[in-house]
Structures are given as structure tokens and as C-alpha cells.
Structure 1
Amino acid sequence: MNWNPSDHDCVRATGDAVACEFGDGLALLDLKSNIYYSLNGVGAFIWELIQDPKSIADIRGAVLARYNVDAERCNADVDALLKGLAENGLARLQDEAFV
């Protein structure tokens, strides 16, 4: 998958997973593959944000506002998580067709 979105592209969870709190984060069950994923607290925060379409810039801004993190590290970590979610079919760019 070619993941090269711009800051203004929107991301949204696909609805193909169910989530439950697990420690400080979330456990996600992909309903299509029956694979479990775990997200730490920051990942859980991002997962909640993308239940509705959010621009990548807005997601990064929300993480920066909530957590004490360097902007460069924030951008890299947010991008890596969103890419991973997209590669596993759990999130999509808004302009992609939603199933």
C-alpha cells in the first residue's frame, strides 16, 4: 500500500473492528480477520479521534496539545500508526471508498 497522504487528507476508522479498554490502552479485534491488535494510551486516543473523519493535521495537533512530545516525533509516530491501521484495513483515507 502506498501511504503518502498530505496534512489535509482525512482519516477515518473503517468500522471493521471492535475496541475495548485494555490497561492504559485499547484492544482491537479486526472483525474480518479475527486478529487482535493492541494500542497504547496515545494510540487509543488517536483511535477515538478517527471514529469520525479527521485531517492528519488535526490528529497531530490534538496529540501535541494533549501529550508532552516533540513535534517531529509526534508527526512520525502518528504517521506510523495511521499507516499501520490503514495497511491492516482498520482505517482509510476519507477519499477512499468506505465499505
Structure 2
Amino acid sequence: MVIAPIGLGLDALDKMGADVHLGYPVLADHISDRLYVMVPAGTGHTAQGRSMRVLSRNQQLLLPCTPHGTAAAHWISAPRDNTPPLLQADTVALALRQLGQRQVAEPFRV
């Protein structure tokens, strides 16, 4: 799922208690100010809103080939061999809704 801006996504992960040191796959795109949180396929229907959306099956996401990435995009939490289960889209969406007092200046744009 895609969350914009990055700071809002990080706040949601913090609210959930999702420790990024555990290896949940979370990628920051600094050029677009978006956070990509990997969730199980088919669960994104709960995560549509002003600051979030889910990539469709025919969209692609380029991932850094190194654990650290680049200045443009890097892993906030790089996946590991012993990665915990993916974060649940509905749990991330709920945390974002609970942070609803924090308004984004613009609606999410593709």
C-alpha cells in the first residue's frame, strides 16, 4: 500500500507499534514523498482513502537491490530471510484513520 506523505505513514507504523527493526518490508520514496508498506495480496480493499491507496495487480514497483537503497529511495525496514508476516492493510488503514486529525494539504495523487 502507498501512503503519502512519508511522515504520516511513519506515524501510523509508530501508532501500530510496528518496529521497523523487525524487517517488515517498508520502502521510502523520497522523490515522491511516499511510503510503500508491503501487505498481503488481496487485502488492500480496506486501505483506500485520502492519504493511502493500494497498487493494482498491473502496476509495478521498482525496489532497491541493496538493503540500504539510495538517496532517492531506501528501505525503512528491509525484508530479511526471517521476515515477520506482512503488515495487515486494515490495521495500517485503521492507524491512519486514527491519525485523522493530521490533515494532508492535498488529496493523494497517483
User: Structure 1 length normalisation: TM-score?
Assistant: 0.32
> If each structure's strand is expressed as a fraction of its own residues, which one has the higher value?
1
What TM-score results when the alignment is normalised by the length of structure 2? Answer: 0.30
